[in-house]
Structures are given as C-alpha cells and as structure tokens.
Amino acid sequence: MKERMPNIDLKKELKHLYQPSARDVVRVDVPAFRFLMIDGAGDPNTSPHYAHAVEALFSVSYAAKFMVKKGPSGVDYAVMPLEGLWWSDDMASFVANDRTRWQWTMMIHQPSCADDAVLHLAMADVKRRKGLAAVDLLRLETFTEGPCAQTLHVGPFTEEGPTIRRVHDFIEQHGALAGKHHEIYLSDIRRADPGRWKTIIRQPMA
C-alpha cells in the first residue's frame, strides 16, 4: 500500500506572511517564491480579461495540484490564494481606490512540489479540456519582494483606502515606498459577506 503523504499548506507554514492581524501594520521580509502569473490593466469589476485571467490561474493551479497528488510523490497541498500586484503612474490612485488607472499582475504562489514541468503539463491539459485562451498568457516567474509593510483589511475592496493609507504612513515613518502595491485575497468573494472579506495589503519598502 502506498504510504499516505502529509498535506502541505503554505499559508500555515508561512503564517507571518499569510495570516496577519488587522490590528497592526508590521514589517515582514518576503523571500523569493515561484508564481504562476498573468498581466492586464483596468478595473477588475468591468474587465472581461480580468475574469478570464483569474479563471486560467485557478484552473491551472488546481490541475497541477491533482497531477502532483496522483503522481509518484502522492503529495497533496492546498492551492494558495489569488494575489495581485497593482501599480500606476500616480501612487495616490491607490489611496483614492481609482482602479481604472491601475495595471495589474494576478498570480498564485506555487509550492516546490509543483515543478515547472508539472505546471506546463497542467497548462496544456487545461487548454485542451477547457479551451481557455488566457492560458497562453500565463507565465512562471520567481518573484522576490524583500522588506515590506503589511496588514489585514477586513471589508469590501472599495473601503481599502484608509487601510492602504495606514500602510503608507508606516512606511513613511520607517523608510520609503518601493515596488508595487500587493494584495492577497484570502476570502471567496462569491460566498462570503463583503463586510467580512479578508485582504492582505502589502507594500514593499526601502
């Protein structure tokens, strides 16, 4: 009988990065992680490309998960949450929550057991089964943020402004803004009450 392998949950293993408190803004050091990524621009609430991008990311991530579980290692793991890098020419647009002016990279953190070969197989499998054109726009990339400030926002995305301001104020007291605004979406917004949505707000700092 094949020995049952333990489940991997990187959110728990990396608790300091993926389970912050909403009470405080804290500094964290974020090492290099591998992500499945896709780029776009504009308001995610009105952009069809955004919806297609997210569908492709999750479809490939879950396909890879089941390939690994059924493979020689038998390892099972939790698919990580959706993350987004957001930027524009004017950092004030984040505080104003003017997403029409934002560009974005949506991404999902991939565990080491889902290597590049598995992920490329998963992309081909999803494209064959589902015919998702956005799969062709996916890429694998190692991304390093280094020192960042972060906190947890609880509530709708439209009310993130004060939370973002808190993070920016913290950074301005301890250094300077750097890199791209980063959000990590911990809630399933299709099911959860918007008042209870949990989003990590992270900003690199110098």
- pLDDT for residue 135 is more than 90: yes
Rounded to two decimals, the pTM is 0.92
Band (19; pLDDT cuts 50, 70, 90) = very high
Query: What average pLDDT score do residues 197-201 get?
Result: 97
Q: Which residue shows structure tokens 């301001």?
A: 165
Question: What is the C-alpha radius of gyration for the chain, rounded to an integer number of angstroms?
Answer: 17
From the number of C-beta atoms within 10 Å of its C-beta (0-12, 13-18, 19+), residue 21 rates as exposed
- pLDDT for residue 59 is more than 90: yes
- pLDDT for residue 102 is more than 90: no
Query: What average pLDDT score do residues 25-39 get?
Result: 98
- pLDDT for residue 2 is more than 70: no
191 compared with 199, residue with greater pLDDT: 199
Residue 40, φ and ψ in degrees, nearest 5 = -170, -170
Query: Among 200, 137, 177, which residue's Cα sits nearest to residue 11?
Result: 200
- pLDDT for residue 3 is more than 60: no
Distance CA 30, CA 32 (A): 7
42 compared with 124, residue with greater pLDDT: 124
Band (101; pLDDT cuts 50, 70, 90) = confident
Distance CA 168, CA 191 (A): 30
% of the chain exceeding 70 in pLDDT? 94
pLDDT of residue 1: 43
From the number of C-beta atoms within 10 Å of its C-beta (0-12, 13-18, 19+), residue 162 rates as exposed
How high is the mean pLDDT of the chain?
Answer: 92
Query: What average pLDDT score do residues 132-159 get?
Result: 96
pLDDT of residue 91: 63
